[in-house]
């Protein structure tokens, strides 16, 4: 592994096409960014600080939570604990990409992960379920999502007052619907359906009874346990065939 | 406690960035010490789609009628057509309509 020849070549043309493929969903991300910019301005952050947070942290839900805890003084450890809890899903998302990421150099691997977020990961994970390897969407899609988040933040900071209630237009459901469509676009086998049921029940139980923000990780791990003990019988031979034919 | 002076805010943003970066890098870093057996591969695959389910379920259960309309419309159309964009668009429209009329 030392004198590594990494088998996955990132294709610039595909990175570009994935950038444009996630452009439509990014337009909605602009709206969320604007809502964040407005909330941050109201909490007393300067425009520059708000932009810096969006550009560097690039994790919407945790940024909203941080703004909720903002004041003349901020208790650091509780804030960081909340940020970690909300973003801990990234740990699992990254891990799920490892079978592909191990085939690119460490520099590229961690570079790609800088722009890892729900939407581009969901596309890549769904394609992986269907036997296609797509890391380009992490980079190309991640860049367009990042730009949308920063531009949205900027708009919200300066023109937030003009925002119509995005909820009345159903815009708050865009990401949820997107993630659901990605989930249902994958293969459905009895094994997957059982793991989803377990994940659904576990996440709801965690959401109800465990400390806040743990439900995603709890539900996902519970679903994963099903996969650990229930192996798809023909998965291996199918994969070999696919690799031989592609 | 960090006071939200300009240096304080910068420090907070820096710390938030660091914590988020740990979550982005950590899973992949940990996996580099794990041998990918078929069992681990199977775990990863079911976990991946379970992440999505675990994000969506509480969203549906804590959501209003509009949220439920959006998610069920998207689910129905996605299962029938396997086309993401029309499914998502229909879900958004459903949420808008339900909220407008209810």
**Residues within 8 A of A (CB atoms), B 10-29 only:** 10, 12-17, 19-28
What is the CB-side half-sphere exposure of residue B85 using CA atoms within 13 A? 5
Residue predicted with more confidence, A144 or A68: A144
Same domain, residue pair A38 and A151? yes
User: Is there a contact between A185 and B82 if contact means CB atoms under 8 Å apart?
Assistant: yes
* SS3 per residue for A174-229: HHHHHHHHHHHHCCCCHHHHHHHHHHHHHHHHHHHHCCCCCHHHHHHHHHHHHHHH
Residue predicted with more confidence, A32 or A23: A23
Tokens at A215, concatenated: 């439900």
A110 within some domain: yes
Write down the pLDDT at residue A234: 57
Task: Summarize pLDDT for B68-87 with one digit per residue, the tens.
Answer: 999 999 999 999 999 998 99
Same domain, residue pair A182 and A220? no
Same domain, residue pair A76 and A125? yes
Report the residue from A83, A110, A227 with minimal CB separation from B20: A83
Same domain, residue pair A161 and A193? no
Write down the pLDDT at residue A237: 47
Write down the pLDDT at residue A175: 87
B56 within some domain: yes
Report the residue from A72, A176, A223 with minimal CB separation from B47: A223
Same domain, residue pair A171 and A202? no
Report the residue from A173, A223, A225 with minimal CB separation from B53: A223
Answer whether A67 touches B (CB < 8 Å): no
Same domain, residue pair A63 and A75? yes
* Cα distances (angstroms) measured from residue B97 to each of A101, B75, B76, B102: 42, 17, 17, 8
Cα distance between residue A184 and residue A182, in whole Å: 6
* Cα distances (angstroms) measured from residue A60 to each of A49, A107, A150, A152: 15, 25, 11, 11
Tokens at A151, concatenated: 């531009």
Same domain, residue pair A128 and A229? no
B52-69 average pLDDT score: 93
Answer whether B102 touches A (CB < 8 Å): no
B90 within some domain: yes
Domain-terminating residue out of A146, A163, A187: A187
Write down the pLDDT at residue A230: 93
Same domain, residue pair A102 and A202? no
Find the residue in A nearest to B47 (Cα).
A224
B33-46 average pLDDT score: 92
**Residues within 8 A of B (CB atoms), A 20-59 only:** 24, 44-46, 49, 52-53, 56-59
Same domain, residue pair A90 and A156? yes
Contact assessment for residue A183 and residue B56, using Cβ atoms and an 8 Å cutoff? yes
B4-19 average pLDDT score: 94
Write down the pLDDT at residue B3: 85
A26-32 average pLDDT score: 90
Same domain, residue pair A210 and A153? no
Same domain, residue pair A163 and A41? yes
Optimal mutation site among A22, A96, A126, interface B, most CBs of chain B within 10 A: A96
A6 within some domain: no
Quote the number of domains for chain A. 2
Name A186's Cβ contacts closer than 8 Å, sequence gap at least 6: A125, A126, A129, A130, A192, B49
- Give residue A244's pLDDT band: very low, low, confident or very high (50, 70, 90): very low
Write down the pLDDT at residue A3: 45
Residue A7 DSSP class: -
Same domain, residue pair A64 and A105? yes
Whose tokens are 């890549």? That residue is: A124
Nearest to A183 by CA among A246, A113, A95, A123: A123
Torsion angle of the four alpha carbons A24, A180, B44, B58, in this order, in degrees rounded to the nearest 10? 120
Write down the pLDDT at residue A161: 73
A207 within some domain: yes
Write down the pLDDT at residue A164: 65
> Domain residues for B73?
51-102
> Domain residues for A208?
188-246
A7 within some domain: no
Tell me: pLDDT of A239 over 60: no
Cα distance between residue A170 and residue A91, in whole Å: 30
B24-37 average pLDDT score: 95
A48-73 average pLDDT score: 95
Contact assessment for residue A26 and residue A143, using Cβ atoms and an 8 Å cutoff? no
Quote the number of domains for chain B. 1
User: Is there a contact between A73 and B17 if contact means CB atoms under 8 Å apart?
Assistant: no
Write down the pLDDT at residue B73: 97
A221 within some domain: yes
CB atoms within 10 A of CB A246: 8
User: Is there a contact between B39 and A79 if contact means CB atoms under 8 Å apart?
Assistant: no
Write down the pLDDT at residue A26: 94
Domain-terminating residue out of A187, A210, A236: A187
Find the residue in A nearest to B48 (Cα).
A96
A-B CB pairs within 8 A amount to 290
Task: Summarize pLDDT for A138-166 with one digit per residue, the tens.
Answer: 999 999 999 999 999 999 999 987 766 76
Look over chain B and give the mean of its residue pLDDT values, rounded to a whole number: 94
Residue numbers in A near B88 (CB within 8 A): 174, 177-178, 181
User: Is there a contact between B71 and A79 if contact means CB atoms under 8 Å apart?
Assistant: no
Report the residue from A114, A169, A223 with minimal CB separation from B96: A169
């Amino acid at each position: 592994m030392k004198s590594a020849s990494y088998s996955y070549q990132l294709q610039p043309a595909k990175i570009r096409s994935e950038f444009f493929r996630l452009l439509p969903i990014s337009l909605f991300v602009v709206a969320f960014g604007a809502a964040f910019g407005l909330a941050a301005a109201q909490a007393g952050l300067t425009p520059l600080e708000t932009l810096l947070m969006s550009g560097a942290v690039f994790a919407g839900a945790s940024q909203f939570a941080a703004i909720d805890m903002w004041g003349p003084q901020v208790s650091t450890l509780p804030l960081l604990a909340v940020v970690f809890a909300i973003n801990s899903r990234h740990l699992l998302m990254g891990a799920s990409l490892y079978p592909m990421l191990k085939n690119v150099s460490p520099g590229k691997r961690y570079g790609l992960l800088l722009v890892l977020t729900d939407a581009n990961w969901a596309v890549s994970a769904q394609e992986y379920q269907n036997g296609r390897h797509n890391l380009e969407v992490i980079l190309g899609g991640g860049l367009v999502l990042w730009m949308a988040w920063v531009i949205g933040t900027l708009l919200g900071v300066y023109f937030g007052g003009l925002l119509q209630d995005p909820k009345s237009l159903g815009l708050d459901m865009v990401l949820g619907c997107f993630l659901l469509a990605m989930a249902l676009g994958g293969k459905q086998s009895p094994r997957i359906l059982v793991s989803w049921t377990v994940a659904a029940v576990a996440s709801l139980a965690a959401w109800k009874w465990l400390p806040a923000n743990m439900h995603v990780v709890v539900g996902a791990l519970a679903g994963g346990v099903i996969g650990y003990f229930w192996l798809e019988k023909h998965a291996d031979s199918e994969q070999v065939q696919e690799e031989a034919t592609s | 406690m960090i006071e939200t002076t300009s240096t304080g805010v910068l420090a907070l943003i820096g710390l938030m960035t660091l914590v988020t970066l740990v979550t982005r890098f950590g899973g992949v870093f940990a996996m580099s010490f794990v041998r990918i057996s078929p069992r681990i591969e199977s775990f990863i695959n079911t976990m991946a789609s379970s992440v999505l389910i675990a994000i969506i379920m509480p969203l549906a259960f804590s959501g209003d009628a509009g949220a439920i309309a959006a998610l069920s419309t998207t689910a129905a159309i996605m299962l029938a057509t396997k086309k993401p964009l029309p499914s998502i668009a229909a879900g958004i429209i459903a949420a808008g309509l339900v909220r407008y009329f209810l």
